[in-house]
Amino acid sequence: MDTPDTNARTRDAHEVDEHRVEYDADGTRLVGHAYVPADAAGPRPAVLVFPEWWGVTDFPRRRARELAAEGYVALAADMYGEGAVTDDVEEAGRRSADTRLGAVSRARSRAALQTLLALPQVDADRVAAIGFCFGGDVALELARDGAQLRGVVAFHASLTTGQPAAPDQLRASVLVLHGAEDPLTPPQQVAAFQDEMRASRADWQLVAYGNAVHSFTNPEADTAGIDGVAHDAVAARRAWQAHLAFLAEVLAPPAD
């Protein structure tokens, strides 16, 4: 894996340093974006951010920056290679189908995790992963694979998997934030996920937000023109706050 590129840092209004990171997974060059609190002193808890199927657009990068403003080191991860993004539904569908589950997903998400862990400001014992839609499934798959994570958060994910967690395999605590009216993640998929979590004996939570559908956290969701996809400002605010409380719990420093 390549050493993260820490050149060309910039400082934003929220006292967060941003830099581009380049890394490799099985010969594919990946380009992510790291966000570090400007006053970071000593190792800090860290969060890996997996994007929607559009790629590493402004949305996941804003979320990663917001996490850095909260005091976390954050990395917005590239799952497509070369930092590719798209606004075309068919292209997004093709790209995500190849990288949401399976060996490619595991290799690229693992590479992103190792890149985050290699940052000098990161406390390797206090790391979580979050993801939105496609990225929520990637985060859950990384946890199912036994990655070194304290917690995972999936915002409006499909919750399907080809590799259900075995009993006691999930080391990470799990939080799923779901739109109760999401037609792309119907009740039977939610029920199957809950059955998987029970069978795995994981520490898990699932919160369903009434009236919310798919992609409810993204302010630009309505512009995609996809049925069952829409922003919900109230649900988005509640979900973000719930996830911050979860991160504060699972990434808390060890008790003296």
Residue 221 maps to a domain: yes
pLDDT value for 187? 96
In a domain, 4, yes or no: no
256 is a domain residue: no
In a domain, 38, yes or no: yes
Q: Residues 192, 158: contact at Cβ < 8 Å?
A: no
Task: Kindly report the CATH number assigned to the domain that includes residue 38.
Answer: 3.40.50.1820
Give the separation between CA 194 and CA 100, rounded to whole angstroms: 20
Nearest to 32 by CA among 10, 52, 13, 5: 5
What's the structural domain count of the chain?
A: 1
In a domain, 129, yes or no: yes
Q: Are strands 28-37 and 44-50 parallel, antiparallel or unpaired?
A: unpaired
The reply to whether 5 falls in a domain is no
The DSSP result for 65-111, as a single string, is HHHHHTT-EEEE--SSSTT-B---HHHHHHHHHHHSSHHHHHHHHHH
Report pLDDT for 6.
32
Query: CA-to-CA distance for 177 and 154, rounded, in angstroms?
Result: 6
- 2: in domain: no
Look up the domain containing 61 and give its range. 10-250
Give, in order, the Cα–Cα distances in Å from 29 to each of 25, 43, 48, 108, 146. Answer: 7, 27, 18, 10, 24
- In-domain check, residue 187: yes
**Regions of the chain short of the pLDDT cut 50:** 1-14
Give me the amino acid identity at 95: R
Tell me the pTM.
0.92
CA atoms within 13 A on the CB side of 231: 10
Q: What confidence tens digit (pLDDT) does each residue in 125-138 have?
A: 999 999 999 999 99
